[in-house]
Amino acid sequence: MNQELIIQPIAYIHTDFKEKFGIPRQSGRVPELTGKIIFLPEYRKPEALRGITEFSHLWLIFDFSESHRKNWSPTVRPPRLGGNQRIGVFASRSPFRPNPIGLSCVKLDGIENNNLLVSGVDLLDNTPILDIKPYLPYADSYPNAIGSYGELLQNYHLEINFPEKFLAMIPEEKQKAVIACLADDPRPSYQNDPERIYSMQFSGFDIHFKVNQNQLEVINIDSLA
């Protein structure tokens, strides 16, 4: 009865995040965050995309390739619950699951050379994409679904103090996205040390910041180029 399924990536997504720290905790949280889905040559066919631009949103089914583990744990500690409360893995969207498959909803912005431009991403650069499906609002949208702790902190945001001399180092078209990622509070929920310096890598920059209460202050930026 047990049936193994062998999956090959069809594409890789390119995003501004080379590290996990700072990636929004769900797709759509930072609409300005863009990604480019580059199909493997075998799948880069204009026919395979015929009609896709009539949809505004897409599902990406992807491989949590940086979260593979030999063993799985039946419980996980979601960062949004402070990192010390355990819930069942099937009651979570944790990347550490029996099958490391992820699900994200992104906005389709266009097609470029038979590849896809998307936004609202929450994926690491170079994540393997296993499947792409159109979002069907009549089948996929349940605005009144009950979402448990997922709803917590939904409207929580930090205030950002990003001095102009640092912000000017970031290309203009990326500035809104980086501010929104910082406002989403990349810290683990259980950390609250106003003197601690965090570093978020984004689009070739290392952004150093501190957080005091509800205020995030960028204190330096290094270019990684």
Q: What is the footprint of a second copy within residues 45-74 (CB under 8 A)?
A: 45, 47-52, 54-59, 61, 63, 65, 74
Contact yes or no for 159/215 (Cβ under 8 A): yes
Q: Which stretch binds a second copy (CB under 8 A): 146-154, 168-176, 179-187, 209-217?
A: 146-154
Question: Does residue 140 bind a second copy (CB under 8 A)?
Answer: yes
Question: Does residue 117 bind a second copy (CB under 8 A)?
Answer: no
Question: Does residue 184 bind a second copy (CB under 8 A)?
Answer: no
Q: Which stretch binds a second copy (CB under 8 A): 97-105, 167-175, 179-187, 190-198?
A: 97-105
Shortest spacing between CB 201 and a second copy, in angstroms? 21
Task: Compute CA 181 distance to the chain's CA centroid, rounded to the nearest angstrom.
Answer: 10
Question: Does residue 5 bind a second copy (CB under 8 A)?
Answer: yes
Residue for token digits 């994200």? 104
Phi, psi (deg, nearest 5) at residue 224? -90, 0
Shortest spacing between CB 14 and a second copy, in angstroms? 13
218 closest CA partner among 205, 210, 169 = 210
Question: Does residue 113 bind a second copy (CB under 8 A)?
Answer: no
Alpha-carbon span 106 to 184, nearest angstrom: 18
Q: Which stretch binds a second copy (CB under 8 A): 84-92, 159-167, 169-177, 195-203?
A: 84-92
Shortest spacing between CB 82 and a second copy, in angstroms? 14
With a CB cutoff of 8 Å and minimum separation 6, the contacts of 205 are 169, 170, 221, 222, 223, 224
If the CB atoms of residues 16 and 122 are measured against a second copy, the closer one turns out to be 122
With a CB cutoff of 8 Å and minimum separation 6, the contacts of 163 are 218
Question: Binders of a second copy among 153-182, rule CB under 8 A?
Answer: 154
Question: Binders of a second copy among 7-36, rule CB under 8 A?
Answer: 7-10, 12, 26-29
Alpha-carbon span 158 to 42, nearest angstrom: 44
Question: Does residue 99 bind a second copy (CB under 8 A)?
Answer: yes
Q: How far is CA 217 from CA 79, 209, 212, in A?
A: 22, 5, 8
